[in-house]
Amino acid sequence: MRFQLEEKSCEQCGARFRPRPERVNTSRFCSKQCQISFYKIHRSPRYNRIEKTCENCGGRYLVVPANIDSRFCSRRCKDIKLGESRRGANNHNWKQKISFICKQCGAEKFLSPAHARESVFCSKKCQNDWMSVHNKGKNSARWKGGGSRDIRHTIMGSREYKDWRKSVYDRDGYTCQHCGDDKGGNLHAHHIKPVALYPELIFEVDNGLTLCNPCHVQLHKQMPSLHGKSRLREFISEAGYASN
């Protein structure tokens, strides 16, 4: 015999409906719409909304009692209103900007006190333009007297320099003394003691060291900390290669 579902009457519209067996004792409405309509009329706490006015746009909107302190109808209205009221001098982090004159172009610039104390240029372009003029030659922090460049340009094409370079390569077996690269074609003869400080050792074979181009660049990035021979030995051995 087929199971007969019990009929009930909807408390909202009065229609007859058959709830599922497990909900026969709790079901009161034939549909979700009837349930919502019923509670709107009978003022269930769930649907007991309070009407308020948005402080930004003036529109009317409904809130549940828990949100009675709400001031805005949407997040957008909140951001607009608070953005206006907390901008500039109204912001609790506001600090009066300080003016300074750009060292390069003379333009007036306004910055916060923390930045204005350290800034002397209005832009990166002005800084680069000033540095290209005033941080050149003897004014540069890396100025070494100007002799090394002249000496290097003079000797690079000389027979003495080429003989010295070949002697260094022969002694080191045409092999980079840092990484062991022996493919050739990218070897450099490095002066252990720089030419700018020791011009008298420019052709001393013991003052030369064979390095490949990448290792030579890496070594010069670490100078002048590697001028000493002990530090130079550490640099040579750190790649795991040691010359015979």
Residues 156 and 80 in one domain: no
> What secondary structure does DSSP assign to 96-145, as a single string?
--EEEE-TTT--EEEE-HHHHTT---SSHHHHHHHHHHHSSGGGSTT---
Give pLDDT tens digits for 13-72.
999 998 888 888 889 999 989 988 887 777 665 556 788 999 989 999 888 777 888 999
Give the separation between CA 31 and CA 69, rounded to whole angstroms.
34
Q: Report yes or no on 173 lying in a domain.
A: yes
- At 230, list the tokens: 């002990």
* pLDDT score for 72: 92
Number of structural domains found in the chain: 4
Residues 219 and 155 in one domain: yes
Any idea what the Cα angle at residue 80 is, between residues 74 and 84, rounded to 5°?
Answer: 150
Nearest 10 degrees: Cα torsion 83, 85, 88, 90: -140
Residues 117 and 199 in one domain: no
**Which residue's structure tokens are 């980079």?**
176
Q: Report yes or no on 134 lying in a domain.
A: no
Residues 220 and 159 in one domain: yes
- Are the C-beta atoms of residues 143 and 137 closer than 8 Å to each other? yes
* pLDDT score for 150: 59
Residues 15 and 58 in one domain: no
The series of mean pLDDT values per 10 residues for the chain, 244 residues long, is 74 90 88 85 66 90 84 90 76 77 86 76 87 77 62 74 90 88 84 80 89 87 60 60 48
Nearest 10 degrees: Cα torsion 83, 85, 117, 139: 30
Give the separation between CA 218 and CA 193, rounded to whole angstroms.
16
